[in-house]
Structure 1
């Protein structure tokens, strides 16, 4: 056998061994991943499928009639005063919560990144509420906003009397008719936004702070040499570089606001005229108290749709960027 033929056979043997090892690695990896894949398939996608099927059934009594009902449960919700209120409340809460948390996160991170004396103390102070659950936050802020307790008690000490129960106030600002409801900004929603900001703005601050400390100082120095002011540097150099952080913060905070339940349930409940009600609260009461399982499943599927409309475009965009790179 000639030398070139020997080299060729050796190379074929090496390639065969590599393929065999690669195949074995894939099989071992699949074995380790299989329990997780089965669990996700059953307890995530399986339950999503079951909830979707339940939402199309007549299962609105304890008898659990699973016969096909079409879109009956969805049509009922779209014509329901409470669900229309929930849609308004979710939209208002999400917009106010996301925008203010982003603005506060940027301001707090810029303040801490300036490295003034005591910045480490404020960093810990801002992030501390993240250690609590929304249930604790709701209980704390319910106490703080109650006219007979909290900060209102301090105001009464200074002679401010007859404080309104504004955190359950049914008034809707900037309202206009929309279906069976007044579409606008419910006054009581402001209290929920304040409580949610108290807990989540520190998390957004931490995201922006990590982004700020990852920006090379050479960008700022180059802008200063070109004559840019510190304000111009921040808005035209730093903020564009923080765009990935902003998108991630919007996704995280937005999906929390779209499916929020515990804060509202503990702090205000549905409220007068459902001004603080949310789909999560409505789903819980409809399903587990009213035994209207089909309607509760329909609410759950619509909540999934709301979250998907926020997250799926982001995932598609990221996937396209990975393919292009």
Structure 2
């Protein structure tokens, strides 16, 4: 009975992924197809052009990648923080809990299209939220929300590899140092020292890994804050439900034992509750990360597809493929998005499968 399903899965999922991967390594476009010409195999040229090319399409893609990183980090942080706070409040057995739980979960029932329409009006610089202070006799805010052109944390795209290496080495140093403090392992001490040494060399020497010419400034586009708020508003209720289920699964005896040992209420949550919620946090990060990496409709509704300050790879891929008719380049962007999602999901699935087989 499984054979038909496996065949359909192989053809319509992995078969199409394979064909997209092949198309991404060709120069396929609409003109070739209309003239009856076959696409030429170009290897990884489309990928190298996206990351190092000087065409406007390439520069837009690199902006999209930076936007995706900042949006993903902020979106996950907002959803986890707000969701945890709401779950803790509801866990206090407050009156009307069912009502509030429904209210907090309601935004999740909406589509991102509806959410985008509502928040686009709320963040209209000439109306919405900006119109409230004048009603109270206060000056009108000048913040432009999703059309803001302000940029923070600027850096040169040429230095992106150096920045990534510094961040990775910093994380390795922190993790290895923490484990050394717990276990006093010489291996961890050596790893932390090596990471610190390499990080220092990269920082002091200012080594650059040149990717594009001329310099290409990137950074955090402040307009993304509007996108983060809208997406966080919709998905925080989902995270709240996950955390609330986890909180209700923690025995009251465990909390009471911590209180008897002298832990304050804050200490109970810090040393008992939060560690027990770690698997739920990981699951939430995986799900939210998957959503943020492939987000499309919310961005399209709020930005119209032409607002580069909140642009995402999915929007770029759509326009290049179906407006620009450059199927090879569009397929390359699609494969890069697939790889980003796989980096998030595959390790989690592997861990779950390993845990299931061991149990």
Taking structure 2 as the reference length, the TM-score comes to 0.78
Q: Among residues 20, 23, 28, which one is paired with 1:51 in the alignment?
A: 20
Indicate if the aligned counterparts of 2:117 and 2:301 stay in contact, CA closer than 8 A. Answer: yes
Tell me the residue number matched to 1:177: 156
Paired with 1:141 and 1:112, the residues of 2 have a C-alpha distance of: 26
Per-residue CA deviation, residues 247-284 of structure 1 (Å, 9 max, x unaligned), is 11000000000000000000114555x22110000000
1:1-325 to structure 2, matched below 5 A, reads 31=1, 33-64=2-33, 65-79=38-52, 80-159=58-137, 160-161=139-140, 163-179=142-158, 180-270=215-305, 272=307, 274-325=308-359
Shift in Å at residue 321 of structure 1?
2.1
Higher relative contact order (CA 8 A, sep 6+): 2
Q: Is the 8 A contact 1:60 1:294 kept in 2?
A: yes
Q: Find the aligned partners of 1:83 and 1:258 in 2 and give their Cα distance.
A: 14
Q: Deviations over 1:227-263 (max 9, x none)?
A: 1111111011011111111111000000000000000
Structure 2 residue matching 1:108: 3-state secondary structure: helix
1:253 and 1:60 map into 2 onto residues whose CA distance is 34
How far apart are 1:162 and its partner, in Å?
6.3
Count of matched residue pairs: 293
Over 3 Å counting, the alpha-carbon distance change for 1:119 and 1:182 in structure 2 is farther
Unaligned runs of 5+ in 1: 1-30
Gap regions ≥5 residues in structure 2: 53-57, 159-214
Given that 1:172 and 1:182 are in contact with CA atoms closer than 8 Å, whether structure 2 keeps it comes out as: no
Pair 1:185–1:271, CA change in 2 (3 A): farther
Larger Rg: 1
Deviations along 1:177-206, whole A, 9 cap, x unmatched? Answer: 223543332100000000000100000000
TM-score, structure 1 normalization: 0.86
Between the aligned partners of 1:100 and 1:289, the Cα distance in structure 2 is 34
CA separation in 1, counterparts of 2:100 and 2:15? 45
Q: CA deviation at 1:292?
A: 0.5
Asked if the contact 1:171/1:187 (under 8 Å) is kept, the reply is yes
Shift in alpha-carbon separation, 1:109–1:181, aligned structure 2, 3 A: farther
Show the counterpart of 2:162.
Answer: none
Deviation per CA, 1:86-125: give whole Å up to 9, x if none.
Answer: 1100000000011121111111100011112233222111
Structure 1 CA distance for aligned equivalents of residues 117 and 311 of structure 2:
17
Pairwise CA RMSD: 1.6
* 1:169 shift after superposition: 1.0
